[in-house]
Amino acid sequence: MNAEKNSKLKFQLVEESSSANIRVIGIGGGGGNALNRMIEAGINGVDFIAVNTDVQALNSSRAPIKIQIGPQLTKGLGSGGRPETGKAAAMEDTEKLLGLLEGSDMVFLTAGLGGGTGTGATPIIANLAAELDILCVAICTLPFEFEGRLRAKQAAEGLADLKAAVDTVIAIPNERLLQTVSLDTSMQDAFRIADDVLRQAVQGVSDLITTPGIINLDFADVRTIMKGMGMAFMGTGLSAGQNRAAEAANKAISSPLLIDTTIQGAKGILINITGGKDLTLHEVQKAAQLIHTLAHPEANIIFGAIIDETMKEMVKVTVIATGFEPGLSQEAAAAAGETAAAASAPFYRKTPPPFPLRMNTPPYEFEPKGGRAFDAVSPAARAAAKTPHPSTFAEIDYESLDTPAFIRNKGHQFRKSS
């Protein structure tokens, strides 16, 4: 009888600890839009929560859980684009937000920075998560240049506040959309591409935790790589055909929408490779080697592999990189790039120019599932586009981000030459 009880008790303990409690919180208008996109995509194993000062926006949200903050302050009418109002609204409802966070193992905060609620409330929620020792990852967008200096300044301040509060930040400048979409892409479709990058970041991490593999990754592995690491790089690549694994790995580390961050010099890297039954050990080795050559020599690299029978002839590679080396020399970076090029030839291509893109940057066509970007304009148009225009996005202090020195130097050289 006692043996039977002990056996049952052991089974219950294993079952209870088998999955992490992951919550995705969309804050403000931009965060709510991204949340709707994730719900449409059908991400499994996470809880979706919308937080806003605007009751009308909450009512249109697809999230099963909706939280209004600051009802006394804003009367449900929103923050009016003022971050201080968004912050005060979150402070008004800290007890409600703490109750929302309790029991979470990991929280994703998604928001559009530059406005009121997302910019002001997100750092408050991040601080509450820190009080509860919850692994907290912020995935945010930065405004277009044409949105003006005020929103750019507010976004920069909000990003700084987030970096001080969360464990890891993944930032996506909306300005990069001009590089990744063609001239005839509608505004709605362009924003869906940005939202899809947010979705890929959340789904990439949640899949690592919730999907068992032949080389298994779990929540503890993710926590090791992302806890207290600051700015992060996260990418997913999908490919088929010859050299599919190496090409998928290259796509994963070459996202054109992420902020000026590469995996070069990263001290913490998590790699997950997913393929069908035909996935070979040699393919896995080639993909891992490409990523390994760009990392810090003493990087903590955690590797996982999943066999998914639905992935016929396809390979997916997910990479999360953190703990960037700020003092990485240009020589070391160049050597790493040459090695990576040899490892993945002929598919290797460099990441986009590491500097804020100007409004006259030539547009590109974009394949949302990690595909390559091809020129969508003529050589004459590209030559005309080299004429410099004053940037109004100077308030985003890219120098303050955890960007390797050689990337910042390249940005300076470009600005001087242009």
Reduce the DSSP state of residue 384 to 3 states and report it: helix
Cα–Cα dist 139/393, whole Å: 20
380 falls within a domain: no
Residue 45: pLDDT band by 50, 70, 90 thresholds?
A: confident
**How many helices, marked H, and strands, marked E, lie in the chain?**
16, 13
Cα–Cα dist 279/118, whole Å: 42
Asked if 67 and 188 sit in the same domain, the reply is yes
Instruction: Please tell me the total number of residues recorded for the chain in this structure.
Output: 418
Asked if 61 and 169 sit in the same domain, the reply is yes
Q: Provide, rounded to the nearest whole percent, the portion of the chain with pLDDT above 90.
A: 39
Q: What is the mean pLDDT of residues 282-300?
A: 88
Cα–Cα dist 337/353, whole Å: 14
Give bridge partners of residue 306 from the DSSP assignment.
Answer: 274
Bridging pattern class, strands 168-173 and 135-142? parallel
* pLDDT score recorded for residue 266: 84
352 vs 235, more confident: 235
Asked if 83 and 130 sit in the same domain, the reply is yes
Asked if 184 and 37 sit in the same domain, the reply is yes
Residue 251, pLDDT > 80, answer yes
221-225, 296-300, 397-401: the lowest-pLDDT one = 397-401
pLDDT, tens only, 302-361: 888 888 888 889 999 988 888 875 444 333 333 333 333 433 443 333 333 333 333 332
Q: What is the mean pLDDT of residues 193-197?
A: 79
352 vs 87, more confident: 87
Q: Where are the alpha helices (DSSP H) in 78-231?
A: 83-92, 94-101, 117-131, 149-165, 177-180, 187-210, 219-226
**Phi-psi bin for 313: left (phi > 0), alpha (psi -120 to 50), beta?**
left
Residue 102, pLDDT > 70, answer yes
311 vs 264, more confident: 311
CATH number at residue 187: 3.40.50.1440
Q: Provide, rounded to the nearest whole percent, the portion of the chain with pLDDT above 70.
A: 71
- The number of distinct structural domains making up the chain is 2
Asked if 199 and 93 sit in the same domain, the reply is yes
Q: What is the mean pLDDT of residues 123-143?
A: 95
Asked if 44 and 188 sit in the same domain, the reply is yes
Domain boundary among 329, 344, 359: 344
Residue 362: pLDDT band by 50, 70, 90 thresholds?
A: very low
> How far apart, in Å, are the Cα atoms of 56 and each of 53, 119, 195, 288, 370?
9, 19, 21, 47, 34
Asked if 242 and 117 sit in the same domain, the reply is no
Whether residue 292 contacts residue 286, with contact meaning beta carbons closer than 8 Å, is answered with: no
Asked if 282 and 338 sit in the same domain, the reply is yes
19-33, 154-168, 301-315: the lowest-pLDDT one = 301-315
CATH number at residue 296: 3.30.1330.20
Asked if 147 and 93 sit in the same domain, the reply is yes
362 falls within a domain: no
Whether residue 82 contacts residue 115, with contact meaning beta carbons closer than 8 Å, is answered with: no
Q: What is the mean pLDDT of residues 104-109?
A: 96
Cα–Cα dist 160/398, whole Å: 11
| Owning domain of residue 291 | 231-344
334 falls within a domain: yes
Q: CA dihedral defined by 237, 352, 243, 193, rounded to 10 degrees? A: 30
Asked if 133 and 265 sit in the same domain, the reply is no
374 falls within a domain: no
Asked if 195 and 235 sit in the same domain, the reply is no
365 falls within a domain: no
Residue 160, pLDDT > 70, answer yes
214 falls within a domain: no
Residue 263: pLDDT band by 50, 70, 90 thresholds?
A: confident
Q: What is the mean pLDDT of residues 215-221?
A: 83
Cα–Cα dist 173/257, whole Å: 7
Asked if 194 and 292 sit in the same domain, the reply is no
Which of 115-129, 137-151, 288-302, 365-379 is modeled with the greatest confidence? 115-129
* pLDDT score recorded for residue 132: 96
Residue 114, pLDDT > 70, answer yes
72 falls within a domain: yes
Query: What is the distance in angstroms between the CA of the first residue and the CA of the last residue of the chain?
Result: 81
382 falls within a domain: no
Domain boundary among 295, 326, 344: 344
Domain boundary among 277, 312, 344: 344
What type of residue sits at position 390?
Answer: P
pTM (2 d.p.): 0.71
222-231, 259-268, 271-280: the lowest-pLDDT one = 259-268
